[in-house]
Structure 1
Amino acid sequence: MPTLIALAGLPGTGKTSIAQALTRRMGAVLLRIDAIDAAIWQVDPAREGQGESYLIAGAIAVSNLGLGLSVISDCVNPWPVTRDVFLTAAAQAGARHLGVELICSDPVEHRRRVQSRISDLPGFRVPSWPEVLARDYLPWCDADLQIDTARTSISDAVTRIAQALG
């Protein structure tokens, strides 16, 4: 059964690295919100932070789930309303939904990751450490799975997610 795996977590927690490795392992469709945002901002820089990218990703998810493909959403996914976009997309397509929150419990490591990031997307600016700390992010208390990337390697995180899928 196709599954929508919705990742969540602050920048620098390893979402993109895990999403890419999981996509390769599963042969799934990757929906990277940063790529959608970068394209929107190239057309209209004033649109930064407006949230259209979540609705676009949800619509693309429904289309791919309907084709029988699993989908992985790679995004901060900071609030219940953004998480509901993916829950609704899975329901609309008759697919499973797995919510995975990634955290980095080691603040020194988290800061190092954020400060060493370089954007691989034209038009996308990675956030600074103060911007990450100031980010409005609500912990996902009822996520199906929570992974601490300060203590879990990318390959082990992918294995845990795959095991949660059954």
Structure 2
Amino acid sequence: MNTLVAVSGVPGTGKTTVAEAIADRIDATVVRTDVVRKELYDAPEYTAAETEAVYDEVLDRARERLDTGSVVVDATFKTKAVRDAARGVAEETGAAFRLVGVECDDEVVRSRIRDRTDDESDADIEVYEVFREQYEPLDSPDLLVDNSGMLAETFAQLDDL
């Protein structure tokens, strides 16, 4: 059975690192909202309509790829509604669904965002702070990963998925 894994968290927590590690473990394709947004928009404005279009495209890509394998979606999934939409894609395709939350200490996130040099994400400290306030808490994640420490510690937590 194929699996759709939704990796959720505010910017800077290390979602991409966790998503890629999960994908390696379960032999899955990663679909990132940051990448899809830049494919769809030359100059992203991060409006509500644009974000909705990006999630629609990401979930469409996941739906298509679930026919042939597992998919890990790397996105903030800041609202319950968009997480429910991902769960719905899994149900439609007969795939298993796993919700993984990624958390990280505030000062570690701030440091990571300041140190970003070659990443698809445009999120800066201001975006992080806005998302931190708007992020709807996860209801019953399958796994909650603390990505504040060393990568080995983060990856060891993935054994519980």
Query: Is the structural similarity TM-score above 0.5?
Result: yes
> What is the percent sequence identity of the aligned residues?
26
CA distance in 2, matches of 1:155, 1:47: 33
CA distance in 1, matches of 2:126, 2:114: 10
Task: Verify the 8 A CA contact 1:33 1:75 in the aligned structure 2.
Answer: yes
CA distance in 1, matches of 2:118, 2:86: 25
TM-score (norm 1): 0.84
- Aligned equivalent of 2:82: 82
CA distance in 2, matches of 1:47, 1:18: 24
CA distance in 1, matches of 2:66, 2:59: 10
Alignment of 1:1-166 (within 5 A): 1-42=1-42, 45-46=44-45, 48-49=47-48, 50-51=50-51, 52-67=53-68, 69-104=69-104, 106-121=105-120, 126-135=122-131, 136-151=134-149, 153-164=150-161
TM-score (norm 2): 0.87
CA distance in 2, matches of 1:141, 1:45: 30
Which ranges in structure 2 are unaligned for 5 or more consecutive residues? none
Which ranges in structure 1 are unaligned for 5 or more consecutive residues? none
Task: Verify the 8 A CA contact 1:7 1:76 in the aligned structure 2.
Answer: yes
Task: Verify the 8 A CA contact 2:145 2:158 in the aligned structure 1.
Answer: no
Q: Which amino acid aligns with 1:131?
A: V
Give the paired residue count: 157
CA distance in 2, matches of 1:159, 1:5: 17
CA distance in 1, matches of 2:94, 2:60: 14
